[in-house]
Amino acid sequence: MSNAPLIRIFKASKRFTKGKETITIFENLNLSIPQGDFVAIMGPSGSGKTTLLNLCGGIDRPTSGEVHVAGARIDSLPEGALSKWRAANVGFIFQFYNLMPMLTAAKNVELPLLLTKLGGAERRKRVETALKLVNLADRLNHLPREMSGGQMQRVAIARAMVSDPTLLLCDEPTGDLDRTTADEILKTLQLLNRELGKTIVMVTHDPEAAKYARRTLHLDKGVFTERDVAAA
């Protein structure tokens, strides 16, 4: 793991306006995650975990402050440039997989590659490699409805990995899975971190899941209450 920070959040605040009321999610939040780290972010509902993840992934912007990821200050990038940046640098894994129901596993995994200039043959090759990595080489032509929750999440991991991003952002990746399947998914994420050097930020409610990370950050009412808890 490198000491150079891949993610650096500096004095970030996030506020929402709901009617006449302004809700502050967090205020002047600072965070630094080095390249190659595997961080679990835990905390109660409404603590700002997902909002923080969204800021790291460039799908939301802070009300104030700076967000630097992979060498770019992404909070000030225009929308088009931010889309390109996301496609090149970040892979997302969601709790409910968010696969396209009408596409096969292979086609779902191929989606991010449509944003590249790769030819069809090269795309197919990369899709097969990504699906092999998550042990789903035999499910290439299966539709999501023909797969179990664990298999769908592994397809989602393959989709997140296929364009070889630096950063993987996981929002409750095992929240919809049983313990055994969740462990399989977490082992896969651990493998991606340890063997391929991917930086992973995972939001979770599950302390068992957090154990797979290198360290755990606790976020409560917009403040990190405990840092650098060594994981298993």
Residues of this chain that bind another protein (CB under 8 A): 54, 57, 59-60, 79-80, 83-88, 92, 94, 98, 100-103, 107, 110-112, 114-115, 120, 123, 159
Nearer to another protein, 142 or 211 (CB): 142
Nearer to another protein, 198 or 214 (CB): 198
Nearer to another protein, 3 or 45 (CB): 45
Q: What's the 3-state SS for the chain? A: CCCCEEEEEEEEEEEEEECCEEEEEEEEEEEEEECCCEEEEECCCCCCHHHHHHHHHCCCCCCEEEEEECCEEHHHCCHHHHHHHHHHHEEEECCCCCCCCCCCHHHHHHHHHHHCCCCHHHHHHHHHHHHHHCCCHHHCCCCHHHCCHHHHHHHHHHHHHCCCCCEEEEECCCCCCCHHHHHHHHHHHHHHHHHHCCEEEEECCCHHHHCCCCEEEEEECCEEEEEEEECC
Nearer to another protein, 160 or 186 (CB): 160
Q: Which amino acid makes up residue 78?
A: P
Nearer to another protein, 53 or 213 (CB): 53
Nearer to another protein, 88 or 229 (CB): 88
Strand 21-34 and strand 64-69: the pairing is unpaired
Distance in Å, CB of 59 to another protein, minimum? 4
